[in-house]
Structure 1
Amino acid sequence: MNQLLWLRTDLRVSDNNALNAAMSAGPTVALYLITPGQWRAHDDAPCKVDFWLRNLTELSARLSELNVPLLIRSVEDWQGVPALIADLCRTYEIDTLHVNDEYGVNEQCRDEAVAAALQQTRTSMRRHLDQLLFAPGTITTLSGGYFKVFSQFRKLCYARLTQSLPACVPVPDRQPSLPIVSDSVLPTVEGFAQPSDYLRSLWPAGEDLAQLRLARFAENDLADYQQRRDFPAEPGTSQISAYLAAGVVSPRQCLHAALRANRGELDSGNPGAVTWINELLWREFYKHILVGYPHVSMGRGFRRETEALPWRHAPDELAAWQQGRTGFPIIDAAMRQLLATGWMHNRLRMIVAMFLSKNLLIDWREGERWFMQHLIDGDLAANNGGWQWSASTGTDSVPYFRLFNPLSQSAKFDPDGSFLRRWLPELAELDKRGIHNPAKLNGLLAGVDYPSQIIDLPMSRDRALSAFRQLGEAL
């Protein structure tokens, strides 16, 4: 009985539950859909689309080793997917369509439409757990609801993981050859510019390279992760997020790598390993939030009352933030890092998000969209969760009265200015004190192409606090 594996954000052959189940059930054909209109609608970054397709090329070779043909089809958006898949299932006499579950509202509606279309065929649809350690709806409060507080969610996750760790499934055995020819040439995708060679070099494709990056991090850097992760000039983070977002590596593989390095300990032992495992659980938490509170993936604040906040329409200030021309070096360096590399250090994501949503009082959705349009690791759940945390509109978010001061954050986490000099070469000659706040240097910056600060920090802080206080008084 022929099986069809529909690949989405699961571009690997190792620890792939849908692939394993399909090949266990019968002769398997794989499918990947090019959907440029949908990618544009979801603000997917050109560098991310390029990363997907580069990984798809690598995956095609791995599938060929397993004698699994890969079909590549193009359809403008997800509206055309149900009919396309139903036709393929008829053509190849497919018994079961296998997919690894995805969790946004649009993704869930798409899969429900495909399942409905398959009711007119002889094909059934089977969904598998892949992006998460726990299926949504299995980690709940005593009343059966979804958690809103991460610490409570994490506690139950630890209890479940202590009882039973999710296993990584091996690469399936090669199947007999099928009389189906793989599509070896990727179609041209209009409207998505190819990123620079420099950016591509930072994110090599393929699960072998992803596994090597994970192994090196676990062996060499995990132990110091807690101490080094907040310093953007240091290579203290895993650089795994893009591979997780595209499914080139699984969360189970990440968890097991951390546990091996920490002698099997989940919440004790090496503080760096424990902290990194907590980051995996934050990722888990935000995906569960998508399912339990679907309005967050429809452009709404988790805390519905925050929809009444008086966001400012300030296009010039928004553009200055986007291009790294605010006059605040840590903000500008972070935004330029994003534009050049498709990635931003996590500490900096919080700093720039809070600056936009509170100091500038610009709607957090403008920042969420800009990040998705440029991040190679753009992920709906994590990006939305992080932005709403910083803007104090989300679940378990930072209190509204907590604002990161970009000047003190810069001095604390880039004390000698190394990160600033890397991305702001026009300030490279300043000393390690002056580089954090060049506005204080007055005439010493004459002739340097660096902007004045676009806002007064104390004023902007007071404005944000007043807006949130008035919101509270109106309830």
Structure 2
Amino acid sequence: MQLLWLRSDLRQHDNTALAAAAERGPTVAVYLLSPDQWLEHDDAPCKIDFWLRNLRELSASLGELHIPLLIRTAARWDQAPAVLLELCRQLDIDAVHVNEEYGVHESRRDDAVAKALQDAGIGFHRYLDQLLFQPGSVLTKTGTYFQVFSQFRKVCYERLHRSLPKRVKTPPAQRPLSIKSDPIPAAIDGFPTPGESLRALWPAGETEARRRLDTFVDAQIDYYKSERDFPAKPGTSQLSAYLAAGVVSPRQCLHAALQSNQGEFESGKVGAVTWINELLWREFYKHILVGYPRVSRHRAFRPETEALAWRDAPDDLAAWQQARTGLPIIDAAMRQLLETGWMHNRLRMVVAMFLTKNLLIDWREGERFFMRHLIDGDLAANNGGWQWSSSTGTDSAPYFRIFNPLSQSEKFDSEGLFIKHWLPELAGLNKKEVHNPASAGGLFGVADYPAPIVNLSTSRERALAAFKNLPARASYGDGDE
């Protein structure tokens, strides 16, 4: 008997470990509930709810293959070896099959499980599944992990030209086993169930993930490059939550994009090329997680930036968290996050730069807050994005590149449609005033909307001074955006 241990791979199709287990013999699946670990990792309640809903869908689809899905609890990951060993002994399991995960804690957990099982004579097999390339296989000429995305992408392109990662076949139904699937809990203590309006935005299951992928590739991918930066437009794929939970695979995404672009990933339709580029950014940040594990430990990728004199400013942090900064594009983006569990990617950069540069608040505060609210919360992507924006990370924005929220707002939400949707109290302003109500409302601004909590110009100078005082700083020019 084979045991499939499911983690962030909640799908039946193109699932490497599932296919490998089923090929070896009768298979049972298990999922471990780890609430204490999830709390420690700042996983959002809406994310846990999404994963539970996807588990229910997956249990039904695995049931059609006569593969029972069992639920066990290992409150913390250090309990996983004992819990899995006991299950293996109960079911007389020959081998456990998993798709690899890449954080420091995930790697330690899997190593501990592997040792416990192997000591008991039970096999433990790991598979490449949530990435296109094995970490450690895309390296510089000197054998180190890339620190610059464009160089990483170039080597990925060379590899893709030679051979595309193949999707794996879904196994046929096996003979029924005398083991029943466990019920999937409706909720987990410590993770309140989100409201119906949020849940309705993110239906669970592979059918929905595939529908989104097909719709995006059929109707939207051609316009992706030109529309992806405009938050009022439906310019993005809305697949990030499904990718993070493994309800859809990066291979499925890559093949769908290539199919829409006559098999090309460097030429042809610029929209498809740009989206494939985003899949490679996701890949890059996961490789960084393996090559530079300090980023898994709340450490800056660039060690010299640990000396930054971040401000201890709880009132400013709370205003940012609660969408009360007085800068409409920031507040609208934060309301989108709080109400939907998701934020438009351009705005993730804008609000992150505002927190780390204009407010000079430690990027780790923002990273943690995002993880606690994002339905697509993913350590590698979230950490990579925050460190990019705060100029502490790999291939990051040079410290002098500070997005101006007003010019970003005017450029990417020129009519104020996104702002007015999330900040209805500003609906009466014209398209010029809506970006900066403080300049429109005379002495007292707009009723029911706060004045800006910071002066953008002087706060920018403060950030530049803080970065310039760092030791061993690379030499940069000067600039703004």
TM-score by length of 2: 0.97
> What corresponds to 1:200 in structure 2?
199
Question: Secondary structure at the residue paired with 1:213?
Answer: helix
1:432 Cα deviation after fit: 0.2
Structure 1 window deviating more from structure 2 (280-289 vs 443-452): it is 443-452
Question: Secondary structure at the residue paired with 1:324?
Answer: coil
> What corresponds to 1:339 in structure 2?
338
Cα distance in 1, alignment partners of residues 267 and 193 from structure 2: 44
> What corresponds to 2:479 in structure 1?
none
1:443 Cα deviation after fit: 3.1
Contact kept, 8 Å, 1:426 with 1:449, in 2: the verdict is yes
1:291 Cα deviation after fit: 0.3
Cα distance in 2, alignment partners of residues 392 and 187 from structure 1: 41
2:310 partner letter:
W
> What corresponds to 1:318 in structure 2?
317
Cα distance in 1, alignment partners of residues 407 and 473 from structure 2: 33
Contact kept, 8 Å, 1:90 with 1:121, in 2: the verdict is no
Contact kept, 8 Å, 1:71 with 1:183, in 2: the verdict is yes
Cα distance in 1, alignment partners of residues 340 and 448 from structure 2: 22
- Structure 1 residues 447 and 151, CA, compared in 2 at 3 Å: closer, same or farther? closer
> What corresponds to 2:424 in structure 1?
425
Structure 1 window deviating more from structure 2 (196-205 vs 115-124): it is 115-124
1:90 Cα deviation after fit: 1.0
Question: Secondary structure at the residue paired with 2:470?
Answer: helix
Contact kept, 8 Å, 1:102 with 1:108, in 2: the verdict is yes
- Structure 1 residues 222 and 445, CA, compared in 2 at 3 Å: closer, same or farther? farther
Question: Secondary structure at the residue paired with 1:336?
Answer: helix
Q: How many residues align?
A: 474
> What corresponds to 2:460 in structure 1?
461
Structure 1 window deviating more from structure 2 (347-356 vs 120-129): it is 120-129
Alignment of 1:190 onto 2:189: yes
> What corresponds to 1:294 in structure 2?
293
> What corresponds to 2:213 in structure 1?
214
The aligned runs of 1:160-309 (5 Å cut-off) are: 160-186=159-185, 188-309=187-308
Cα distance in 1, alignment partners of residues 89 and 443 from structure 2: 73
Question: Secondary structure at the residue paired with 2:4?
Answer: strand
Alignment of 1:399 onto 2:408: no
Deviations along 1:195-246, one digit per CA (max 9) or x if unpaired, are: 1111101100000110011000000000000000000000000000000000
1:19 partner letter:
L
Contact kept, 8 Å, 1:439 with 1:453, in 2: the verdict is yes
TM-score by length of 1: 0.98
Contact kept, 8 Å, 2:438 with 2:446, in 1: the verdict is no
1:169 Cα deviation after fit: 1.1
Cα distance in 2, alignment partners of residues 344 and 50 from structure 1: 18
1:472 Cα deviation after fit: 3.9
1:474 Cα deviation after fit: 7.7
Deviations along 1:335-359, one digit per CA (max 9) or x if unpaired, are: 0000000000000000000000010
Cα distance in 2, alignment partners of residues 51 and 258 from structure 1: 25
Cα distance in 1, alignment partners of residues 160 and 457 from structure 2: 46
Cα distance in 1, alignment partners of residues 329 and 294 from structure 2: 33
> What corresponds to 2:25 in structure 1?
26
Deviations along 1:398-455, one digit per CA (max 9) or x if unpaired, are: 0000000000000000000000000000001100000000110133866621001000
Structure 1 gaps of 5+ residues are: none
> What corresponds to 1:84 in structure 2?
83
Contact kept, 8 Å, 1:354 with 1:404, in 2: the verdict is yes
Structure 1 window deviating more from structure 2 (38-47 vs 181-190): it is 181-190
> What corresponds to 1:57 in structure 2?
56
Deviations along 1:246-291, one digit per CA (max 9) or x if unpaired, are: 0000000000010011111011000000000000000000000000
Cα distance in 1, alignment partners of residues 189 and 95 from structure 2: 32
> What corresponds to 1:416 in structure 2?
415
1:144 Cα deviation after fit: 1.0
Deviations along 1:127-153, one digit per CA (max 9) or x if unpaired, are: 001110001011001111100010000
1:411 partner letter:
E
Cα distance in 1, alignment partners of residues 405 and 94 from structure 2: 57
Contact kept, 8 Å, 1:262 with 1:269, in 2: the verdict is yes
Question: Secondary structure at the residue paired with 1:130?
Answer: coil
1:205 partner letter:
A
Cα distance in 2, alignment partners of residues 302 and 460 from structure 1: 24
Contact kept, 8 Å, 1:438 with 1:445, in 2: the verdict is no
> What corresponds to 1:435 in structure 2?
434
Cα distance in 1, alignment partners of residues 398 and 178 from structure 2: 60
2:188 partner letter:
V
Cα distance in 2, alignment partners of residues 442 and 433 from structure 1: 12
1:329 Cα deviation after fit: 0.3
2:437 partner letter:
P
Cα distance in 2, alignment partners of residues 280 and 187 from structure 1: 32
1:397 partner letter:
S
> What corresponds to 1:105 in structure 2?
104
Question: Secondary structure at the residue paired with 2:469?
Answer: helix
Contact kept, 8 Å, 1:47 with 1:194, in 2: the verdict is yes
Alignment of 1:41 onto 2:78: no
> What corresponds to 1:137 in structure 2?
136
